[in-house]
Structure 1
């Protein structure tokens, strides 16, 4: 997580987020869930969390966040986590999944989420300050469950 947050290219946390702050944000209270993908040696490959995106009358919408270790990118870890989160959200009774902040220059993630049935509902122009590309769009993505 630290390498991804520090790079500031795909995740909307402050690049100076501490370990303690990350733990508070990444491990939500129930009904939120945190998932960890590990290899046969027990090494962490990636992680995801899933939370209720809204409350009250919109509490049937889930959201999720994902981080895959840079050394494991392109190896199916994100897909496995995504498929698991979708299945679990459906099992938990959510009716839809909404991602609030997919950086438009994160093409592997955009492609993956599209392949898993999410569509871009809209893009916030210049919604993300990328350390290399400057201000870029931030997609809001959605799929029914």
Structure 2
């Protein structure tokens, strides 16, 4: 696969970002976000204050997006957090890998010392394996923390790595 171009998102990207977010929200299997959010609610969350938003682009098409922000305020502000979504048509083609690698580099450039994912759904095995391959460790398990629409209650992981 060609490595996608990753660039800061612009207002012109909102339709493409919504087209990527909507199926993920509706499925309700990988994000602890309301499945019934509308476009405005989802985009307000994705572009929340403090979120630096990026898109992955290939041949002029947005095929993924992510946000980067401080995981906590004050004494925890040196740890970054991100959320990533790949378009359904680009799944399995290395887009999430490219976005995560980009976010790790960007977080380091911004002075973050670590990155933490607070709520990785344990049944999202592809993501768990990817994050582990990119140096993240499971540092905590939250038992039955996520009500999965098909699997009932599943664990969520806290994953972390130093930058």
CA offsets per residue over residues 65-105 of structure 1, 9 Å max, x none? 01111111110000000000000000000001000111000
SS in 2 for 1:112: helix
Within 5 Å, give how 1:6-17 maps onto structure 2: 6-17=26-37
Question: Does 2:155 correspond to 1:140?
Answer: no
Query: Do the aligned residues in 2 keep the contact of 1:102 with 1:140 (CA within 8 Å)?
Result: yes
Query: After the TM superposition, which segments of 4 or more aligned residues of structure 1 sit over 2 Å from their partners?
Result: none
Question: Does 2:146 correspond to 1:123?
Answer: no
Unpaired segments of 5 or more residues in structure 2? 1-20
TM-score, L = length of structure 1: 0.96
Partner of 2:12: none
Partner of 1:47: 65
TM-score, L = length of structure 2: 0.85
- Return the offset for 1:137: 0.4
Partner of 1:100: 118
Q: Distance in 2 between matches of 1:58 and 1:139?
A: 19
Question: Does 2:93 correspond to 1:81?
Answer: no
Unpaired segments of 5 or more residues in structure 1? none
Question: Does 2:53 correspond to 1:34?
Answer: yes
Query: Do the aligned residues in 2 keep the contact of 1:48 with 1:66 (CA within 8 Å)?
Result: yes
Within 5 Å, give how 1:18-33 maps onto structure 2: 18-30=38-50, 32-33=51-52
Kindly tell me the number of residue pairs found equivalent between the two proteins.
143
Question: Does 2:102 correspond to 1:64?
Answer: no
